[in-house]
């Protein structure tokens, strides 16, 4: 998994490429922990996300909780596979997907 | 902090070795240079001195022989004279006559008491020979010596006068003495001196010159020259020539080492080109430097190779083994034993690794024991006796859980909430291992207590969610699917908290995914409300619940087992009992996965409904 991030003022854009699973989720979690302070808009680009496990969902949920307090979080370019996971797990109800 | 550039041991060693060798090299070269210069100069001095001494002796011999012959003849002629009694007039007359004939500067007749009784220089008459150092020497002729000769020097009567004297005893007592001033001396011996330095070489290109007091060259390598010589150019100050003193002179652009000495009023100058003196020294030094360089290079290479062999290779071997150990291979033994230090280091490392292995083994054993215990607790918390309700004929149920690690985050559960309503559920905690297992136990307990208090299925999830959210700092969550079956009617009220949908078998034998809009996962966020859904089971229908460990089981090519394979195997065993269904699915998954390790817990629950009146 690779992470491309771009901080533009209070807007943080994060693009996740590859697999977000048990082994790679801590990497994204650390990335959020280090950069999320003062961010008012977090945009996650999942265009090239191939796989998402429950560990990855946990990190997304944690980010959503933080952003609920300090702004908004938007997930964009969600493909069918990932969208199905969001639907099955009910995440679709709490996430803002564009 | 500024990072120091790291260099290898052999490089550092080599650097210092070269530095020290350079110092040693410079020091020895300088010493050799000075030593050889000294030797060369000494040799030059000796050579110059030897030639001067030779020439000086030759000049002396020539003049001495010449003067002694004259004084001998004069003494013979005066054998009739008694110096003590003869009249001065007679003696003066004889002297005057001989002075011209023999062409000498001075003739003295001295009586037996050592007093000059006659001389061509009137003022000398009456001089007591014993009163002067120079003149006193001649008194030996009164004591039996026959003849003697002195060097050209200042005389006793008047030290401003330089003369060379020779004397001979007289037959009738007393003595006669002849003196040469410089002009007479030169005139009498020049013809002999001329040949003295002909073909005389100092070294290969050095020369000896004899120069008279008028600075004319009397003799050089070609014989007589008669040219004026610039004595100053040879570093010689007339009148103060220092015997044996080497001076450097530049004559017509060529550097010479020169030495000069006076002999009988002549300057004897021997000179040798500096180049000739130094060429030997330079050759010796260059040869020595070349040999030294070869030795230094050889030594440096030798030391470098030795260090490489003794240290660097060993260190690299140890590093290689250490990195293997770091990468987890604790069975590596260090065996670098080419010297005492590395032998000891190897032993220490081996001992450390052994200790580490023992600790790890101990820890593993302890953890294994604890995990086995935890596994037993977890499994005993799940209903595991089948059939669970031998008296109930309305349905048949079977469930299994295969954890990826000793303990897992999946669970299933079932129980009667009242006489006719039977609750069954399957759940999957995010994550694996001990944290997931602990959260699983908590979730299971909360859900069960809610369900047994008579809540409807959607209330169970809503309340359980609130409780699970409390103190969930780790951010874990649970997906769960729970149904409550009315065993009399076959009606199932169910709720889904983010779990993958179960498969339901219809009367025609086909399985279909029970796709309903799922609620959010449990423990994910407070305030979530869950919906209730309904399903009618006809007699013979079955419902199969599973966790994603089934469909996401992966083979060695990272291919997923998938929903289609599950669908096929379920339809293949559509009439089988729940236990057979579960076993066959597990077998099919195992066959698919092959040698690949299991990453996730595999949990499934199958329920087949018969309705009471149909039950046997």
Please report, for the domain that includes residue B218, its CATH number: 3.30.450.20
Clarify whether residues B474 and B522 are in a common domain.
Answer: yes
Q: Is residue B478 within 8 angstroms of chain A, CB to CB? A: no
Q: What is the mean pLDDT of the segment spanning B322-349?
A: 85
Check which CATH number belongs to the domain holding B512 and give it: 3.60.40.10
Instruction: Please give the C-alpha separations between residue A66 and each of A31, A89, B402, B602, in angstroms, as whole numbers.
Output: 14, 20, 35, 32
Mean pLDDT calculated for residue range B440-458: 93
Nearest to B497 among A22, A54, A90 (CB): A90
pLDDT given at position B615 = 45
> In chain A, how many domains are there?
1
Residue B609 lies in a domain: yes
Residues B259-285 have pLDDT tens digits of: 888 887 788 888 888 888 888 888 888
Q: 């002075």: which residue's tokens?
A: B99
DSSP state of B498: B
Q: Identify the domain containing residue A39 by its residue range.
A: 2-93
Which chain B residue's Cα is nearest to A56?
B430
- Which of B276, B297, B319 is the last residue before a domain boundary? B276
Domain boundary among B186, B214, B239: B186
Interface-testing mutation among A54, A58, A87, A94, with chain B (most B C-beta atoms within 10 A): A54
Smallest CA–CA distance, residue B448 to chain A, in Å, is 21
Q: In the predicted model, is pLDDT for residue B534 greater than 90? A: yes
- pLDDT by residue (tens digit) across B244-256? 788 888 877 888 8
Tell me which of B237 and B613 has the higher pLDDT: B237
Contacts of A67 in chain B (CB under 8 A): none
Residues B120 and B258 in one domain: no
Q: CB contact, 8 Å: B482 with chain A?
A: no
Record: contact B524-A54, CB cut-off 8 A = no
Q: Of A55, A87, A89, which has the smallest distance from its Cβ to B479's Cβ?
A: A89
In this structure, the answer to whether residues B92 and B210 fall within a common structural domain is no
pLDDT at B261: 84
Give dist(CA B168, CA B72) in Å, integer.
6
Q: Can you tell me whether residue B578 is helix, strand or coil?
A: helix
User: How close is the nearest chain A Cα to the Cα of B504, in Å?
Assistant: 17
Using CB atoms, pick whichever of A22, A58, A88 lies closest to residue B477. A58
Handedness of CA B360, B365, B371, B374 (dihedral sign): negative
Please tell me if residue B479 touches chain A, with a CB cutoff of 8 Å: yes
Shortest Cα–Cα distance, B431 to chain A (Å): 6
Min Cα separation B602/chain A (Å): 15
Taking a C-beta distance cutoff of 8 angstroms, is the pair A35, A63 a contact?
no
Distances (CA, A) of B616 to B134, B387, B488, B539: 168, 15, 15, 13
The token duo for B316 is: 């690299």
DSSP B261-317: EEETTEEEEEEEEHHHHHHHHHHHHHHHHHHHHHHHHHHHHHHHHHHIIIIIHHHHH
Mutate to test the interface with B, among A89, A92, A93 (most CBs of B within 10 A): A89
Residues B233 and B123 in one domain: no
The string of pLDDT tens digits covering residues B165-195 is 999 998 888 899 999 888 888 887 777 777 7
> For position B214, what pLDDT does the model report?
78
Domain ends where: B186, B221, B246? B186
pTM above 0.80, yes or no: no
Average pLDDT on B424-451 reads 91
B531 is written with which tokens?
């919906």
Position A69 in a domain: yes
Domain count within chain B: 3
The answer to the question of residue A82 being in a domain is yes
Same domain as B209, residue B111: no
Residue B13 pLDDT: 79
pLDDT for B239 equals 65
Inter-CA distances, A64 with A21, B131, B156, B269, B318, Å? 18, 135, 131, 112, 50
Q: Is residue A7 part of a domain?
A: yes
What is the CA angle B69-B70-B71, rounded to 5? Answer: 95
Q: Are residues B428 and B512 in the same domain?
A: yes
B498·A58 Cβ contact <8 A: no
Contact B342, B40 (CB under 8 A): no
Chain A: residue nearest B516 by CA?
A: A88
CB contact under 8 A, A58 and B428: no
Pairing relation of β-strands B478-486 and B421-429?
Answer: antiparallel
Identify the residue among A69, A90, A93 best suited for mutation to test binding to B, counting B beta carbons within 10 A and taking the highest.
A90
Report yes or no: B350 and B336 within 8 Å, Cβ to Cβ: no
Half-sphere exposure of B230 (CA within 13 A, CB side): 6
CATH at residue A29: 3.30.750.24
Question: Is B173 in the same domain as B199?
Answer: no
- B371 domain residue, yes or no: no
Q: Verify whether the Cβ–Cβ distance B476 to A58 is below 8 Å.
A: yes
pLDDT at site B616: 43
Calpha distance B69→B505 (Å, rounded): 162
- Supply A98's token pair: 């564009």
Region class of A18: left (phi > 0), else alpha (psi between -120 and 50), else beta: left
Query: Which residue, chain included where needed, has tokens 């300057």?
Result: B267
Q: What is the pLDDT of residues B134-143, one digit of tens each?
A: 888 998 988 8
B499–A61 C-beta distance less than 8 A: no
Q: How confident is the model at residue B613 (pLDDT cuts 50, 70, 90)?
A: low
Q: Is residue A98 part of a domain?
A: no
Average of per-residue pLDDT across B411-425:
94
Q: Say how far apart CA B491 and CA A23 lie, in whole Å.
A: 42
Domain contains B361 = no
Q: Write down the pLDDT at residue B491.
A: 94
B560 CB neighbours in chain A (<8 A) are none
What is the total residue count of chain A?
Answer: 98
When CB atoms are compared, the residue of A58, A87, A88 closest to B430 is A58
C-beta atoms of B525 and A54 within 8 A: no
Mutating which of B458, B477, B515, B547 best tests the A interface, going by the most A Cβ atoms within 10 A? B477
**What is the pairing mode between strands B116-119 and B153-154?**
unpaired
Evaluate whether B414 touches B425 at the Cβ level (below 8 Å): yes
- Taking an 8 Å cut-off on Cβ atoms, the answer to whether B430 and A55 are in contact is yes
Q: Which residue of A has its CA nearest to B428?
A: A54
3-state SS of A42-88 is EEEECCCEEEECHHHHHHHHHHHHHHHHHCEEEEECCCHHHHHHHHH
Average pLDDT score over chain B? 87
Decide if B603 contacts B548 (C-beta within 8 A): no
Residue-level pLDDT at B56 = 86
Are B153 and B257 found together in one domain?
Answer: no
Sign of CA dihedral B466, B467, B470, B472: negative
Contact B518 A87 (CB under 8 A): yes
Residue B292 in domain? no
**Cα of A57 to nearest chain B Cα, Å:** 8
- Could you tell me how many residues make up chain B? 616
DSSP state of A4: E
Does residue B307 lie in a domain region? no
Chain A contact present for B498, CB below 8 A: yes
Looking at the structure, tell me whether residues B519 and B406 fall in a common domain. Answer: yes
pLDDT recorded at residue B158: 86
Cβ-based burial of B546 (10 A; exposed 0-12, middle 13-18, buried ≥19):
buried
The ipTM value here is 0.86
Q: Judge contact between B257 and B248, C-beta under 8 A.
A: yes
CB contact under 8 A, B475 and A55: no
Q: pLDDT tens-digit profile of A30-66?
A: 988 888 888 899 999 999 998 888 888 989 998 998 8
**Nearest CB to A55 within list B431, B497, B520:** B431
Q: CA of A6 to nearest chain B CA: how many angstroms apart?
A: 26
**Phi, psi of A46, deg, nearest 5:** -105, 25
| CB nearest to A57's CB, from B430, B519, B599 | B430
| One-character DSSP codes across B59-107 | HHHHHHHHHHHHHHHHHHHTTT--TTTS-HHHHHHHHHHHHHHHT-SEE
The verdict on B593 and B458 lying in the same domain is yes
Please give, rounded to a whole number of angstroms, the shortest distance from the CA of B335 to a CA of chain A.
37
Interface contact flag, A93 B499, Cβ < 8 Å: no
Answer yes or no: are the C-beta atoms of B309 and B10 closer than 8 Å: no
- CA nearest to B214, candidates B235, B224, B228: B228
How many contacts, defined by CB atoms under 8 Å, are there between A and B? 57
Tell whether B251 and B166 lie within a shared domain: no
Question: Does residue B243 lie within any of the structural domains?
Answer: yes
Range of the domain at B98: 12-186
Q: Are A53 and A88 in contact (CB under 8 A)?
A: no
SS3 A3: strand
Cβ pair B430:A87 closer than 8 A: no
| Coil/strand/helix, residue B559 | coil
Q: Is B132 helix (H, G, I), strand (E, B) or coil?
A: coil
A-chain residues near B563 (CB < 8 A):
none
Please judge whether A90 and B501 are an interchain contact, meaning their C-beta atoms are less than 8 angstroms apart.
no
User: Which chain A residues are closer than 8 Å to B524 by Cβ?
Assistant: 61, 90, 94
B572 lies in some domain: yes
Q: Is residue B375 part of a domain?
A: no
| 3-class state of residue B530 by DSSP | coil
Look-up: residue for tokens 């032998």? Answer: B343
Place of tokens 């005893």: B169
Residues from chain B contacting residue A91 (CB–CB below 8 Å): 498, 520-521
Option in A55, A65, A90 nearest B498 (CB):
A90
Instruction: Give the closest of A22, A62, A90 to B521, CB-based.
Output: A90
Q: What angle do CA B370, B374, B376 make, to 5 degrees?
A: 120
CA angle B579, B582, B583 (to 5 degrees): 85
Compare all CA atoms of chain B with the CA of A63 and give the residue at the minimum distance. Answer: B475
């Amino acid at each position: 998994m690779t992470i491309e991030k771009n901080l533009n003022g209070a807007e943080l854009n994060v693009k996740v490429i590859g697999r977000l699973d048990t082994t790679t989720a801590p990497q994204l979690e650390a990335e959020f922990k280090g950069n999320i302070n003062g961010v008012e808009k977090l945009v996650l680009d999942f265009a090239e996300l191939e796989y998402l496990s429950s560990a990855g969902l946990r990190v997304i949920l944690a980010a959503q909780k933080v952003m609920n307090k300090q702004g908004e979080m938007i997930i964009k370019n969600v493909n069918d596979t990932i969208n199905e996971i969001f639907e099955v797990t009910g995440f679709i109800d709490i996430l803002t997907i564009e | 902090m500024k990072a120091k550039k790291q260099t290898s041991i052999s490089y550092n060693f080599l650097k210092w070795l070269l530095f020290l060798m350079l110092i040693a090299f410079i020091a020895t070269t300088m010493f050799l240079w000075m030593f050889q210069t000294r030797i060369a100069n000494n040799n030059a001095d000796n050579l110059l001195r030897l030639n001067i001494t030779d020439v000086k002796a030759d000049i002396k011999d020539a003049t001495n022989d010449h003067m002694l012959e004259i004084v001998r003849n004069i003494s013979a002629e005066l054998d009739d004279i008694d110096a003590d009694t003869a009249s001065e007039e007679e003696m003066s007359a004889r002297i005057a006559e001989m002075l011209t004939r023999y062409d000498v500067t001075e003739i003295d007749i001295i009586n037996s008491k050592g007093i000059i009784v006659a001389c061509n220089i009137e003022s000398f008459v009456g001089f007591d020979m014993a009163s002067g150092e120079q003149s006193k020497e001649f008194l030996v002729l009164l004591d039996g010596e026959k003849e003697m000769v002195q060097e050209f020097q200042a005389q006793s009567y008047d030290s401003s006068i330089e003369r060379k004297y020779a004397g001979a005893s007289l037959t009738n007592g007393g003595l006669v003495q002849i003196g040469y001033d410089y002009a007479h001396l030169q005139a009498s011996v020049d013809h002999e001196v001329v040949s003295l330095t002909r073909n005389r070489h100092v070294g290969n290109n050095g020369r000896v010159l004899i120069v008279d007091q008028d600075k004319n060259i009397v003799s050089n390598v070609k014989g007589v020259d008669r040219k004026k010589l610039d004595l100053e150019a040879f570093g010689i100050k007339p009148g103060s020539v220092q015997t044996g003193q080497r001076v450097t002179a530049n004559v017509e652009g060529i550097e010479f080492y020169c030495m000069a000495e006076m002999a009988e009023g002549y300057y004897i100058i021997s000179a040798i080109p500096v180049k000739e003196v130094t060429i030997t020294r330079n050759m010796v030094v260059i040869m020595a430097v070349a040999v030294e360089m070869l030795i230094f290079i050889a030594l440096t290479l030798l030391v470098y190779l030795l260090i490489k062999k003794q240290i660097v290779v060993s260190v690299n071997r140890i590093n290689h083994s250490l990195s293997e150990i770091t990468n987890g291979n604790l069975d590596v033994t260090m065996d670098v034993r080419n010297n005492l230090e590395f032998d000891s280091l190897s032993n220490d490392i081996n001992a450390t690794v052994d200790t580490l292995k023992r600790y790890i083994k101990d820890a593993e054993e302890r953890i294994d024991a604890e995990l086995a215990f935890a596994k037993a607790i977890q499994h005993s918390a799940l209903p595991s006796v089948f059939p669970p309700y031998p008296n109930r004929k309305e349905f048949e149920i079977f469930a299994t859980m295969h954890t990826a690690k000793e303990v897992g985050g999946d669970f299933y559960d079932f129980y009667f909430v009242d006489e006719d309503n039977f609750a069954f559920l399957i759940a999957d905690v995010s994550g694996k291992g001990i944290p997931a297992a602990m959260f699983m136990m908590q979730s299971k307990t909360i859900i069960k207590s809610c369900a047994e208090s008579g809540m409807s299925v959607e209330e169970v999830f809503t309340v359980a969610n609130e409780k699970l959210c409390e103190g969930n700092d780790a951010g874990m969550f649970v997906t769960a699917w729970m149904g409550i079956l009315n065993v009399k009617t076959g009606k199932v009220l169910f709720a889904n908290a983010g779990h993958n949908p179960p498969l339901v078998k219809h009367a025609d034998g086909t399985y279909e995914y029970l796709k309903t809009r799922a609620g959010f996962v449990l423990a994910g966020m407070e305030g979530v409300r869950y919906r209730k859904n309904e399903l009618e089971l006809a007699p013979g229908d079955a419902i199969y619940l599973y966790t994603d460990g089934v469909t996401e089981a992966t083979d060695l090519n990272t291919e997923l087992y998938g929903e289609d394979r599950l669908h096929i195997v379920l339809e293949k065993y559509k009439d089988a009992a729940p236990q057979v269904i579960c076993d066959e699915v597990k077998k099919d998954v195992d066959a698919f996965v092959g040698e690949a390790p299991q990453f996730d817990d595999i949990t499934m629950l199958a329920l087949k409904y018969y309705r009471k009146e149909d039950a046997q």
